[in-house]
């Protein structure tokens, strides 16, 4: 057996392979230079952000788009547009990213996390049902790690209770659910274009919707709630969440390559799965694509049955990293983050949990809200971001490192 690099052996790679790689083309540099030369840096002065928005609308087949400075702002704007406020609850997904759920708190509403299914980490419709109350005003569903969540059962719940569904598709631009692009089936689809996402504008994001009133409202609040044509007049509490021209210029170049890049990502994932399966390591669960859709594999995530290995998940991650594959372990599920445990976000108050508008259990207990998410996150490894720039040698080195480490720690 090969000695692990962690124990002084020769690493699989000398040049470490990062989890994500930024994929930029010539066109992005050219476009950005154009913006600089034009001196038109904000969306209202230039053409690039709007052009990017039109291209995304075409790509997704959505009627309206709200361009923004990131995918946290877009989640926030969706809740503002839906009139979410104090006393309301929003059911959210615990696996994805913290700011999928926290924008409810910006609105002084209460995030309630639904538990996940053990295989994919998507919110489990049965648990969503259990968590619905008369206070539930929205449900947000994350397409976790770039695979499509099973939307029909969640859309059905939304219809039954008249609750809008926001798709947090930050990680899944281009993924599809039953031949529809994710993000286009809920009332809003929210996307991020931060550096490591399927396409990037550095920071950035957008909301799509087929509802003109809601899209306009989201756009208005993301532009200070400034009333057009009335000078410096603002009709609400707005935010500056606008996308810049530089972001738009990057995006235009990126979106042109999206389909090609997604097919390479899918090939990378298929290659990894085939090779990992051939290793026949008991206790290693290889990620699968759900049979109802197609993923974009933003994070290729392994699940371990830990009793089959004589090392903790964190030790295994450390050993694979030492081999030169910079994989990572998921952070805690969002509901386990400390501020949810001590209910402290606004100064020393317990606001909004002890707000008199809130009629639920005053200090919601987040600690045991999502046992399956905790279990998932304890045994998961983010192996690679499946970047289109990975070559055959990179993919082989990933497999080699996993084989070397898991076989070393395997209990026979």
Ligand X SMILES: Cc1ncc(COP(=O)(O)O)c(C=O)c1O
Q: What residue ranges bind ligand X (CB under 6 A)? A: 70-72, 96-97, 99-100, 142, 168, 170-171, 192, 194, 205
Residue 64 contacts residue 205 (beta carbons within 8 Å) = no
Residue number, 64 or 382, with CB nearest to ligand X = 382
The residue with tokens 């959505």 is: 62
Output the residue with the shortest Cβ distance to ligand X: 71
Considering the complex, what minimum distance in angstroms separates the CB of residue 234 from ligand X? 24
Pick from 146, 246, 148: nearest CA to 204 = 246
Going by C-beta distance under 8 Å and a sequence separation of 6 or more, which residues neighbour residue 111?
Answer: 89, 90, 92, 101, 102, 104, 105, 334
Residue number, 194 or 332, with CB nearest to ligand X = 194
Pick from 306, 272, 298: nearest CA to 286 = 272
Residue number, 193 or 397, with CB nearest to ligand X = 193
Residue number, 65 or 142, with CB nearest to ligand X = 142
Considering the complex, what minimum distance in angstroms separates the CB of residue 262 from ligand X? 17
Cα separation, 67 vs 53, whole angstroms: 7
Considering the complex, what minimum distance in angstroms separates the CB of residue 140 from ligand X? 9
Residue number, 97 or 376, with CB nearest to ligand X = 97
Considering the complex, what minimum distance in angstroms separates the CB of residue 26 from ligand X? 25
Query: How would DSSP label each residue in 310-362?
Result: SS-HHHHHHHHHHTTB--B-----GGGSHHHHHT--STTS-TTTT-TT--S-T
Alpha-carbon distances, residue 111 vs 75, 77, 103, 190, 233 (angstroms): 13, 16, 9, 17, 32
Residue number, 97 or 366, with CB nearest to ligand X = 97
Considering the complex, what minimum distance in angstroms separates the CB of residue 347 from ligand X? 24
Considering the complex, what minimum distance in angstroms separates the CB of residue 92 from ligand X? 10
Considering the complex, what minimum distance in angstroms separates the CB of residue 108 from ligand X? 20
Residue number, 164 or 205, with CB nearest to ligand X = 205
Q: Left (φ > 0), alpha (ψ -120 to 50) or beta: where does 165 sit?
A: beta
Query: How would DSSP label each residue in 135-180?
Result: TEEEEEEE-GGGS---HHHHHHHHHHHT--EEEE-TT-TT-EETTE
Residue number, 241 or 408, with CB nearest to ligand X = 241
Considering the complex, what minimum distance in angstroms separates the CB of residue 3 from ligand X? 37
Cα separation, 358 vs 135, whole angstroms: 9
């Amino acid at each position: 057996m090969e000695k692990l690099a962690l124990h002084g052996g020769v690493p699989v790679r000398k040049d470490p392979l990062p989890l994500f790689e930024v994929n930029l083309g010539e066109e992005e540099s050219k476009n950005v230079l154009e913006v600089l030369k034009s001196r038109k840096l904000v969306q209202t002065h230039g053409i690039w952000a709007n052009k990017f928005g039109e291209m995304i609308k075409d790509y997704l087949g959505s009627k309206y788009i709200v361009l923004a400075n990131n995918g946290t702002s877009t989640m926030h704007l969706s809740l503002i547009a839906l009139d979410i406020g104090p006393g309301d609850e929003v059911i959210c997904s615990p696996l994805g990213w913290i700011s999928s759920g926290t924008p409810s708190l910006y609105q002084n509403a209460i995030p309630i996390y639904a538990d996940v299914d053990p295989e994919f980490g998507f919110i489990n419709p049965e648990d969503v049902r259990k968590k619905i109350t008369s206070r539930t005003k929205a449900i947000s569903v994350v397409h976790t790690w770039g695979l499509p969540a099973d939307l029909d059962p969640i859309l059905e719940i939304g219809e039954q209770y008249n609750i809008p569904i926001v798709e947090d598709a930050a990680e899944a631009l281009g993924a599809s659910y039953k031949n529809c692009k994710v993000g286009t089936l809920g009332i809003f689809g929210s996307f991020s274009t931060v550096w490591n996402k399927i396409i990037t504008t550095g920071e950035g994001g957008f909301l799509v919707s087929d509802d003109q009133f809601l899209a306009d409202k989201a756009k208005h609040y993301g532009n200070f709630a400034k009333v057009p044509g009335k000078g410096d007049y603002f009709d609400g509490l707005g935010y500056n969440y606008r996308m810049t021209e530089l972001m738009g210029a990057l995006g235009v170049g990126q979106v042109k390559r999206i389909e090609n890049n997604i097919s390479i990502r899918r090939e990378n994932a298929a290659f990894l799965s085939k090779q990992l399966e051939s290793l026949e390591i008991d206790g290693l669960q290889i990620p699968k694509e759900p049979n109802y859709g197609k993923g974009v594999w933003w994070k290729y995530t392994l699940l371990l049955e830990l009793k089959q290995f004589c090392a903790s998940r964190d030790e295994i991650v450390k050993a694979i990293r030492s081999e030169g594959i910079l994989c990572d372990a998921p952070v805690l599920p969002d509901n386990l983050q400390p501020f949810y445990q001590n209910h402290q976000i606004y100064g020393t108050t317990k606001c909004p949990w002890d707000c008199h508008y809130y009629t639920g259990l005053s200090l919601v207990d987040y600690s045991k809200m999502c046992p399956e998410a905790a279990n998932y996150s304890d045994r998961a490894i983010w192996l690679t971001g499946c970047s289109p720039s990975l070559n055959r040698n990179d993919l082989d080195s990933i497999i080699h490192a996993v084989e070397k480490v898991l076989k070393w720690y395997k209990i026979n």
